[in-house]
Chain A
Amino acid sequence: MITIKDLHKSYKTGNNSLHVLKGINFNVSEGELVSIMGSSGSGKSTLLNILGMLDEADTGSYTLDGVAIKNLNEKIAARYRNKFLGFIFQSFNLINYKTALDNVALPLYYQGMKRGERMDKAKAYLEKVGLAQWMDHLPNQLSGGQKQRVAIARALASDPKVLLADEPTGALDTKTSYEVMDLIQQINDEGRTILIVTHEHDIAQMTKRIVNLKDGLIIDDTKVNQVRALQNV
């Protein structure tokens, strides 16, 4: 599903250049649930943002679902994001003046789906994350866990190939974190490819594979026996 080869990325701040990713090689197959671990500042988010086409690598190749991702302009990147990817952020990034339902329907709007159809579909996804009765609420009327569920429903709405989650439980307490992980596991069970950035070991143990990043390089990449989140709730 994802193939990256010799990916490099550095940030320029003033006269200094910070080499964040120093040659990442990495494959993800369909249906995997991968966690990317590493200490703070190790380049986890940078890697995920490049995978998400929110940012661009300096060098290296990236193939997503057989499509070479290169020479992207904003327009094509937007289309690819809409078609291939679903994002889940630590800070949820819901649009605060839109209801839960309208937030979930937004990617479908950008797919050009008619209003009636996209509302039906959005409702179905809210039901899937157990928030059907909250659909008319604004984000600030929801708890953190609920917000993240709405965000997950939104990420799923466009039926993407890959879900990318940057510290999805970073702003949640343990119990809520496990509930969210349970939802993510269920979605993965249905066959969806998911990448999670986290620095929490217990969360990483709930995925099927842990990739360890240090100083811009992958130092470890191992399959793990998945811990079901539901058992810990």
Chain B
Amino acid sequence: MFDLERWQEIFETISKNKLRTFLTGLSVASGIFILVILLGIGEGMKNGIEREFQSDAANIIYVFPGVTSKEYKGLNPGRMIQMKNDDYQFTTTENKEALEYKSSVYRIWGGMVSFGKESGSYRVEGVYPDYQFLENSSMLLGRFINYKDVNESGKVVIIGNRVKNDLFKDAKSILGEYVEISGIKFKVVGVYTDPGGEREESRVFVPITTAQKVFGGGNDINYMSYTLQPEGTYEEALASANKFTKKVETYLKGKHTIAPDDNSAIRVNNMLENTKRFYDLMGMIKMFFWGVGICTIIAGIVGVSNIMLIIVKERTREIGVRKALGAEPISIIGMVLHESIFVTSFAGFTGLILGLVLLDVVGPMIQTDFIYNPTVNFNVALSTVFILIVAGAVAGFFPAYRAAKIKPIVALRDE
């Protein structure tokens, strides 16, 4: 390896056989490049979905109504279910001990929010103080809704960071200013941020009591969300979540006269179950990308072996000449291997670096909810390069060995 003379000989050979070197290098470099990109996309998808999950509390349970699909006690299917305050009251009092956070939500559709000349359409939600934790939001300025606001039906509003940027631009004072929601003045008491990103930050929250009074909601609510007290293990948490949702479902179905086996009238979204599905899905995505990646590597190895085979074949006569001039078999093997290892390593690292650079440059520019921050575990990428180098060496060894074994007289006759 550290034989300078041999390096000189190799460099000479490489620099005078550019096409051959380029072709070997290309198959290796592109293999590694594709692998890096694939792994990056896989990681990006995982990050993207993970971020979606972080936008709300990890163990959140939503209960929202739908439309009946079955006839029951003389009531026709196709009936729209409307949940009321007492549904929320009942489920929360009934399960007081089990619940950690809870909030019902009354949503105002097409709410126009304006401040001075600026205005925009944002989701307006009437909520309880716990909603902050259910949504995984944190305060940038001021505070969230408190129980005093709810009890007094205070005209206060918490705005998302995106809303703040849109309406307030770079105004200095935000807290204490008044915004209009569909023509009614609300005092801004807080600005929040949400890991769900801009989509989740373009909402405003008002006390649910205020929302129902001011926007004519009466006792209507749109959905309810809860989290349960933490449990020791995931399995325990999932079990108590399932128990809880079963209970709520049964209660609501009884109260709203819904067939017990009607699955479309009351819907339950249990994040813990989703989390399990998510990790299963992630496992599959990862396995898929690894599968494709490994196939790419195998294709790379086959490519390198083929090229080595062709190279050695092409060089048979040259090998014969070298042997006639005094090259020992070991030196022929060494020459072929040295060249192939050098070329595969160089190309492998080039592909690796190109892939990493591309991910680094393009990664942050990707604007979709499904891919976020695509990165590659450097060690994984590095090991694949080494695998490819070793494979290239092994692949190069057999034709080199055979070439070294050919009698010089046979090699010299090769045309």
Q: Which residues of A contact B (CB under 8 A)?
A: 49, 52, 54-55, 74-75, 78-79, 81-83, 87, 89, 93-95, 97-98, 102, 106-107, 109-112, 114-115, 154, 158
Asked if residues A75 and B326 are in contact (CB atoms below 8 Å), the reply is: no
Given contacts A79-B328, A107-B326, A110-B326, contact A54 B412 (CB under 8 A): yes
Asked if residues B17 and A97 are in contact (CB atoms below 8 Å), the reply is: yes
Closest CB-CB distance, B243 to chain A, in whole Å?
A: 78
Q: Which 7 pairs between the two chains have the least Cβ-Cβ distance?
A: A82-B326, A110-B326, A97-B16, A54-B409, A107-B325, A78-B328, A55-B409
Which of A81, A97, A112 contacts B324 (CB under 8 A)?
A81
Given contacts A74-B328, A95-B318, A97-B17, contact A109 B5 (CB under 8 A): yes
Asked if residues A78 and B327 are in contact (CB atoms below 8 Å), the reply is: yes
Residues from chain B with a CB closer than 8 A to the CB of A79 are: 326, 328
* Residue B12 interfacial (CB < 8 Å): yes
Which of B17, B320, B328 contacts A75 (CB under 8 A)?
B328
Which of B8, B9, B320, B325 contacts A82 (CB under 8 A)?
B325
Residues from chain A with a CB closer than 8 A to the CB of B318 are: 95
CB-based nearest A residue for B15: A97
* Distance, CA A79 to CA B8, complexed state (A): 22
User: What 0/1 readout, one digit per residue, does chain B (397-408) give for beta carbons within 8 Å of chain A?
Assistant: 000000011011
Asked if residues B407 and A54 are in contact (CB atoms below 8 Å), the reply is: yes
* Distance, CA A52 to CA B324, complexed state (A): 8
Closest CB-CB distance, A101 to chain B, in whole Å?
A: 11
Closest CB-CB distance, B414 to chain A, in whole Å?
A: 11
Q: Which residues of B contact A (CB under 8 A)?
A: 5, 8-9, 12-13, 16-17, 317-318, 320-331, 404-405, 407-409, 412
Closest CB-CB distance, A127 to chain B, in whole Å?
A: 20
Total A-B contacts with CB atoms under 8 angstroms apart: 69
Q: Tell me if B's interface is mostly helix, strand, loop or mixed.
A: helix
Residues from chain A with a CB closer than 8 A to the CB of B17 are: 97
Asked if residues A97 and B13 are in contact (CB atoms below 8 Å), the reply is: yes
Query: Quick one: which of A52, A78, A107 has the most chain B CB within 10 A?
Result: A78
CB-based nearest B residue for A93: B321
Closest CB-CB distance, A188 to chain B, in whole Å?
A: 21
Residues from chain B with a CB closer than 8 A to the CB of A154 are: 325
Residues from chain B with a CB closer than 8 A to the CB of A98 are: 12, 16
Residues from chain B with a CB closer than 8 A to the CB of A95 are: 318, 321-322
Residues from chain B with a CB closer than 8 A to the CB of A83 are: 326
Closest CB-CB distance, A98 to chain B, in whole Å?
A: 7
* Distance, CA A110 to CA B322, complexed state (A): 9
Question: Can you list 10 A-B contacts with CB-CB less than 8 angstroms, sorted by A residue number?
Answer: A54-B324, A54-B407, A87-B325, A93-B320, A93-B321, A93-B324, A94-B321, A95-B322, A107-B326, A115-B8
* Distance, CA A97 to CA B407, complexed state (A): 23
Given contacts A54-B324, A93-B412, contact A78 B329 (CB under 8 A): yes
Residues from chain B with a CB closer than 8 A to the CB of A82 are: 325-326
Closest CB-CB distance, A45 to chain B, in whole Å?
A: 9
Residues from chain B with a CB closer than 8 A to the CB of A102 are: 12
* Distance, CA A158 to CA B328, complexed state (A): 15
* Distance, CA A12 to CA B217, complexed state (A): 103
Known: A54-B324, A74-B323, A95-B318. 17 other contacts (CB 8 A): A74-B404, A75-B328, A75-B330, A78-B323, A79-B328, A81-B325, A82-B326, A83-B326, A93-B321, A93-B324, A97-B13, A98-B12, A102-B12, A106-B322, A107-B326, A109-B9, A110-B328
Residues from chain A with a CB closer than 8 A to the CB of B327 are: 78, 110
CB-based nearest A residue for B411: A54
Closest CB-CB distance, B4 to chain A, in whole Å?
A: 8
* Distance, CA A55 to CA B17, complexed state (A): 30
Residues from chain B with a CB closer than 8 A to the CB of A81 are: 323-326
CB-based nearest B residue for A164: B324
Residues from chain B with a CB closer than 8 A to the CB of A109 are: 5, 9
* Distance, CA A98 to CA B320, complexed state (A): 15
